[in-house]
Copies of this chain bind each other. A is one copy, B any other.
Amino acid sequence: MAKSAGARAQRDARQDAGIGLGELENHLGYFVRRLQHWIFRDVNAALAAVDLDVISYSLLETIAANPGTTQIAVAGALGIERARMVGLLDDLQQAGLIVRERSEQDRRAHALGLTPRGRLILKKANAQISAHEKRVARRLGADNYRRALAALSQFETD
């Protein structure tokens, strides 16, 4: 029973520190938040090697998967305000990683794409991300990692 052993070890550690968390320890939201914090820090540390953060990386990856897409489409897919996209894309453009061109179908919109340098940086970033995922898997346990990925990938948001 690896499960209760791991959970118990954590509870014990907190009780050693003289503080428990009551009902919180029965709620998925609490554990999701803890894991998300750790992942956020680890992935940003990993991406610092290629001078990116997790948001810039997500933007590059989404643009790479949808060449010619618009700012609004990317904003919607990633849950970023369109007002905030402006500054984020400004930075990526200044770093020479993306291009913004007037769309020919709709001249209000910008068609987004990666520069050759953008593709290179993204490739390096994905190597860092791959190492990061391995760290998560090792820390969570390979079985738990697979279970968590399988379970959470089925969650459909509104």
Q: Which residues of A contact B (CB under 8 A)?
A: 2-3, 6-7, 9-10, 13-14, 17-40, 43, 54, 58, 61-62, 64-66, 69, 73-74, 76-79, 126, 129, 132-133, 136, 139-141, 143-145, 147-158
> What are 8 of the A-B contact pairs (CB < 8 Å)?
A9-B156, A20-B62, A23-B126, A24-B62, A28-B133, A28-B145, A28-B149, A147-B147
Known A19-B77, A31-B153; 12 more pairs at CB < 8 Å: A3-B150, A6-B156, A17-B73, A19-B74, A21-B65, A24-B58, A28-B39, A28-B133, A29-B36, A32-B32, A141-B154, A148-B148
State whether A62 touches B19 (Cβ < 8 A): yes
State whether B154 touches A21 (Cβ < 8 A): no
State whether A69 touches B19 (Cβ < 8 A): yes
Chain B residues in 8 Å Cβ range of A28: 39, 133, 136, 145, 148-149, 152
Number of copies: 2
State whether B38 touches A155 (Cβ < 8 A): yes
State whether A19 touches B61 (Cβ < 8 A): no
A129 to B3, CA, bound (A): 24
A26 to B154, CA, bound (A): 12
Chain B residues in 8 Å Cβ range of A158: 38
Q: How far is the CB of A30 from chain B (nearest CB, A)?
A: 8
